[in-house]
Amino acid sequence: MKAVGVFNYGAPEALEVADVPLPEAEAGHIRVRVHAAAVNPSDVLLRMGFTDAWLSESLTRPYRPGMDAAGVVDAIGPDTDTDLKVGDRVMAMVVPIDPSGGAYAQYIVLDARQVVRAPANATFAEAATLPMNGLTARRALDMLNVAPGDWIAVTGAAGAVGGYAVQLAKADGLHVVADAAPADEELVRSLGADRIVARGPGIAQRIRDVLPEGVNAVVDAAVMGAQAVPAIRAGGEIAVVRSESEAGIEPLGDLGDVTVREVFVPEYRYAGDKLDGLRVLAEKGQLSLRVADEMPGERAAEAHRRLEAGGVRGRLVLTF
């Protein structure tokens, strides 16, 4: 089968198309014929070697990025507990450091708990934008001690994770203040934000200008870090979606009585109920599946260059 990965870490050009063995579905596993795989910042980290220390020892080069897959059930291993059938349209969050490898491939074998039905009204490309980004937002909100009626702030609200955080917060009954560049204000408002402030440095004061008492919590999808903390009222929380151990991420430092919640989405790799809940919301129109562009897998390097250049709204999606 065809797959896209790296034999040697480096720039986008390090991504190569390679022939690799077709994986077999063993007990408890499902093989998916992948039709679409979203391109995420985490894919860049793998391509550059930042996740090398965590790769499963069973993986061999080329190492494949890709945390989102959408496609069709191709085979089901023996004694697998699932109500899915061969031919069903499905989606899954993939963890490239696991023995499965990443989603940039024509076929991938996953634990059955990772695979759920794709939204009925979605294309494969649209479905591929939901699992990892949606579960990241879901995990962030689940970690916060907030209740219906509370106010939260979402940074990076025009992005994939931030956009889902806004919509999921509204579905949870929360009030949302979100950031946006002028060109993104209409988009962020359409996602359900109750208040919108300008993005960038000084965001905390702008949030305080519209909410003098501050917010109960922040979902920091834009990695504003310490800049967003003054917007949080005493005893509040901030959910950070990027680890301080990653390149270019500044330490938060002493935040006083504000609690930091580090969001590590692989903890939801087997949370099929959570992912299926996202499917339901997507089918109801409460989650927007935003595809920035589709391109064949052999153009993965181009997709990575566009992602790293910034300004992408929604997700770029590779097709296989």
Q: Residue 62 has what pLDDT? A: 98
Domain containing 190 equals: 133-266
Q: Would you give the distance in Å from CA 86 to the centre of its chain?
A: 26
> What CATH number corresponds to the domain at position 15?
3.90.180.10
pLDDT tens, residue by residue, 235-245: 999 999 976 54
Q: Do 82 and 39 fall into the same domain?
A: yes
- For residue 74, is it within any domain? yes
Map tokens 């695979």 to a residue: 115
- For residue 163, is it within any domain? yes
Q: Do 198 and 174 fall into the same domain?
A: yes
Neighbours of 99 (CB within 10 A): 14
Mean pLDDT for the chain? 96
Stretch 218-240: mean pLDDT, rounded? Answer: 95
| Angstrom distance (rounded) from CA 205 to CA 179 | 12
| Angstrom distance (rounded) from CA 247 to CA 96 | 19
Q: Residue 247 has what pLDDT? A: 45
Percent residues over pLDDT 70 in the chain: 96
Q: Are 80 and 30 in contact (CB under 8 A)?
A: yes
Say if residue 62 is preceded by a cis peptide, omega within 30 of 0.
yes
Count of domains forming the chain: 2
Q: Residue 253 has what pLDDT? A: 60
Stretch 237-260: mean pLDDT, rounded? Answer: 72
pLDDT tens, residue by residue, 102-143: 999 999 999 999 999 999 999 999 999 999 999 999 999 999
pLDDT at 155 over 60: yes
pLDDT tens, residue by residue, 2-38: 999 999 999 999 999 999 999 999 999 999 999 999 9
Strands 195-198 and 115-117: unpaired
What three-state secondary structure class fits 182?
A: helix
| Angstrom distance (rounded) from CA 1 to CA 36 | 15
Q: Do 149 and 122 fall into the same domain?
A: no
- For residue 121, is it within any domain? yes
pLDDT at 40 over 70: yes
Q: Residue 254 has what pLDDT? A: 61
Q: Residue 256 has what pLDDT? A: 78
Q: Do 138 and 116 fall into the same domain?
A: no
SS3 content of the chain, % helix, strand, coil (to 5): 30, 30, 40
Q: At what angle do helices 131-143 and 160-171 cross, to 10 degrees?
A: 50
Stretch 272-296: mean pLDDT, rounded? Answer: 98
Q: Do 151 and 95 fall into the same domain?
A: no
What confidence tier does 255 reach under pLDDT thresholds 50, 70, 90?
A: confident
- For residue 100, is it within any domain? yes
- For residue 146, is it within any domain? yes
- For residue 49, is it within any domain? yes
pLDDT at 295 over 70: yes
Stretch 35-61: mean pLDDT, rounded? Answer: 97
pLDDT tens, residue by residue, 196-206: 999 999 999 99
Higher pLDDT, 39 or 257: 39
Give the global pTM.
0.96
Q: Residue 274 has what pLDDT? A: 98
**What are the backbone angles phi and psi of residue 252, rounded to the nearest 5°?**
-75, -30
Stretch 40-53: mean pLDDT, rounded? Answer: 96
pLDDT at 146 over 90: yes
> What CATH number corresponds to the domain at position 205?
3.40.50.720
